[in-house]
Amino acid sequence: MPTTQQSINVSFIGHEPISGDGNLFRAFAPARHENLTDEFANVSAEQANQAVEKAADAFPVYAKLTSTQRAEFLDTIASELEALGDELVERAVLESGLPTGRISGERGRTTGQLRMFANLLREGSWVDARINPALPDRQPLPRTDLRRMLVPLGPVVVFGASNFPLAFSVAGGDTASALAAGCPVVVKAHPSHPGTSSLVGQAIVAAAEKTGMPDGVFSLLHADNEVAQQLVAHPAIKAVGFTGSRAGGLALLRVAQGRPEPIPVYAEMSAVNPVVVLPGAISQPDGPNSATAVAAGLAASVTLGVGQFCTNPGLTFLLDSPNTATFLETVAEKIRASAPATMLNAGICQAYQKGVQQNRVVPGVHVLAEADTDADSNQTQGRPTVLSTTAPIFLSSEFLSEEVFGPSSLIVVCETETELADCLTMLEGQLTATIYATAEELKASSVDWVALLQAKAGRVLFGGFPTGVEVSEAMTHGGPFPATSDSRSTSVGTGAILRFVRPVTYQSFPDELLPPALQNANPLGIWRNVDGVMKK
C-alpha cells in the first residue's frame, strides 16, 4: 500500500491505487472559498469498467465467505479509519467546512455502524431462514422439502453524499450494509470531498488486504457524471445506493430502469420534514409545553449544521391559538441571534440563496426573521432565514412546499384543522414528520393526525425534532417518494442490509449441499422459522 500522502488524490480499482485517465479537478475549501492545490483525476470509462469487472469477479468468492469473515472485514475497516487519526478529520473539515467536533462525531458514527453490521453478521438470523421439511405422507399430496433464505444481489454502486463526508459516503451506511450482505461495492466519490474519500478508500483497501478479501471487493472512483451513469448501466451492477439531489437521483433511476435488466436504485433525494404544532403543545406558560420552549427548539433544529441535514425541518404548520404570537416572536428572536456559517460548497450555497429568495418574494410570504449578521461570501456562508405565511397562500403555491437545503424554514399558520389537514395532504413523501400535541387533543380531533403523517413519512415523531438519526435496529431513514425512491427500505440501521439481498428457495436439496443457515443441524446456531415456529 502507498503512504497516505501518495494516496490523497488517487482512485482504487480493487486493491490497486491508480491515477485517473479523465479530466483533472481540484478540491474546494468552502471556509476559504478557494480551490486547494492538490489535483484529482477522474477515471475514464475504461477504468470504470475495469472496476466493475473486478467486482463481478470478486462476487462469487466474497458471497461464499462466512459471516464471521465478512464481520472481521467490517471491524477492520473501522479500525483502519480510526488509525488515520487527525489527518482524516482535518482533511474532512477542510473540504466540507464542517467543524472538527461534527466530523469527529461523524467518524464515530461511521465506525459504529460498521461494527453494528459486523455484530449483525455474527448473530446471523438476518438471513431470515425458513424451513418446511418434507412431508412425504401428507394427503392428498406430499410436500417436498423447502428451505428459504436471503442471499446477496451482486456488485453494488454507491454514490457518496455531499453533506456527510464520512457517514454517508465512501465507508458509510450504503457501503457497510452492502458489504455486510455479501456484495462487492464500487463507490463513486463525491467531488466536494475527494481527498477525504481517497483517505477512506485507502483504509478500506488496507482492511481488505489484511483480512484476505478478494481483489475487487471494493473500488473507489473519482468520476464525472457521464461515467457515473455508465457504472449504473453496466450489466454486472445489481443495485445502486445514492444520497443527494432529486435531479441526481432521478437521473440514475432513469438509467437503471432503462437497462435490459432493470435494477433497484435506493435513492434518498428530497424532504422538508414537516413539524405540526397543535395548540395544546404550546399552552403552558413555561416548561417543555410552552410556546417559547418549542419555538426555541425549532430555531435550533433549523440552524443545526447550517441546515444541511436531510432531516432539517423545512416546514412548520402552526394551528392558530392565543400562543401563536409568542411562538413566532421566539422563533424570530432565536433566528436573529443565530450566526451565518459555512456551507458545504459554493453550489449548495448558491442554491440555498436562490431558494430563499424565490420563496420570500411570493405575495403573502413574509420574512419572519433572518440572522442579524450578513453572510460572508468569502466563507461560503448561508444566512439563517425563517419565513411565514398563511394556509391559503401555501395551498395556492406551486413551490413553497419544495426543499430549500440550508438553514431556512417556512412557518404556515392555519386557522382551522381543515386548513391544516389540507396542507399536509398536499405534501409529497417525507423522511420524517413531527407532531407536537397532547394525547387528549389527538383523541378528540376529527382528524387522525398520526395516520395522516404516517402516510407521508418513514419516521413519525411525537414531540422533539428530527435532525438526529439514531443508528440502530429500529430506525427507518426512508419514506415515500421523493424522500426516497423506494419507501419499503431504510438507509440507516440494520434493516438497510435488506436492500442488497434477495430470497432464494432450495427445494429437495441433500442436507450437505445446503447453505449452513439451512442445514438440519443448524451449525450457525441462528434463529430459524421451522414450519411457522421460531427455533434455534
CA separation for the pair 401, 419 (Å, rounded): 15
Count of positions (residues) in the chain: 536
3-state secondary structure 451-480: HHHHCCEEEEEECCCCCCCCCCCCCCCCCC
Backbone angles phi, psi at 157, to 5 degrees: -100, 130
Does residue 272 contact residue 403 with C-beta atoms inside 8 Å? yes
Does residue 433 contact residue 289 with C-beta atoms inside 8 Å? no
User: Alpha-carbon torsion 86, 92, 94, 96, what sign?
Assistant: negative
Does residue 224 contact residue 22 with C-beta atoms inside 8 Å? yes
Single out the catalytic residue among 72, 268, 370, 419. Answer: 268
CA separation for the pair 389, 459 (Å, rounded): 26
* Of 88, 93, 101, the residue nearest 32 (C-alpha): 93
Does residue 312 contact residue 273 with C-beta atoms inside 8 Å? yes
**What does the CA dihedral 390, 322, 408, 101 come to, rounded to 10 degrees?**
-160
349 is annotated as an active-site residue? no
Long-range contacts formed by 105-109: CB under 8 A, 24+ apart? 106/164, 106/165, 106/166, 106/167, 107/81, 107/82, 107/166, 109/166, 109/167, 109/471
What letter would DSSP give residue 165?
Answer: T
Single out the catalytic residue among 310, 349, 414, 423. Answer: 310
What residue type is 123 in one-letter code?
A: E
CA separation for the pair 185, 207 (Å, rounded): 14
310 is annotated as an active-site residue? yes
| Residue positions annotated with a catalytic role | 268, 310
